[in-house]
Amino acid sequence: MAPQVWRDVHELLRYLAKNWPFDLDDPFAEKEIPVNATVSGGDTPLHVVATWDDVRGIELLVQAGAEVDSIGDMTYTPLATAVAQGSVGAARALLRSGASPHIATEFGHTPYEMAMRDGSEEMKAVFRGDAI
């Protein structure tokens, strides 16, 4: 869950710079991270906010140029991360932003397959297009 409602993308990126292990020279500096910055496993800010089910954060990052199909830890895209976390709002926002439901993780499963196999009824509805 997002720790707050973001005024703008800059506030979100400054928060992540201070509170998430992105590769920075000075992690305590009052600065923001690049929109497609990564942590050691490859996750981006979009992966983080997908985990939080933070629709506003997703919208801000996408508008700022975040790569919706960026590959992170275990070759999860932000959409696969949202599905794995049960983040229905995030999955819906990512699909609306053009995220592909057909990029497989290193385990061979796509977000679509994960949602249909293990997702809640609400998540399945999002992937069927009933709730987008």
Domain CATH number, residue 88: 1.25.40.20
Q: Is residue 26 part of a domain?
A: yes
Residue 40 CB: number of other CB atoms within 10 A?
Answer: 9
Q: What percent of the chain has pLDDT over 70?
A: 89
Rg of the chain, C-alpha, whole Å: 14
Q: Is residue 1 part of a domain?
A: no
| Domain count of the fold of the chain | 1
Residue 26 has pLDDT above 80, yes or no: no
Residue 2 has pLDDT above 70, yes or no: no
Q: Is residue 83 part of a domain?
A: yes
Between 51 and 32, where is the model more confident? 51
Q: Is residue 63 part of a domain?
A: yes
Q: Is residue 109 part of a domain?
A: yes
pLDDT (tens digit per residue) in 45-56: 999 999 999 999
What is the reported pLDDT for 31?
74
Axis-axis angle for helices 121-128, 111-118 (nearest 10): 140
Neighbouring residues of 117: CB distance < 8 A, sequence distance ≥ 6? 109
DSSP state of 41: T
**pTM of the shown model:** 0.89
What is the reported pLDDT for 74?
93
Q: Is residue 3 part of a domain?
A: no
Q: Is residue 42 part of a domain?
A: yes
Q: Is residue 2 part of a domain?
A: no
The mean predicted confidence, pLDDT, of the chain is 89
Residue 105 has pLDDT above 90, yes or no: yes
Tell me the residue range of the domain where 83 lies: 9-128
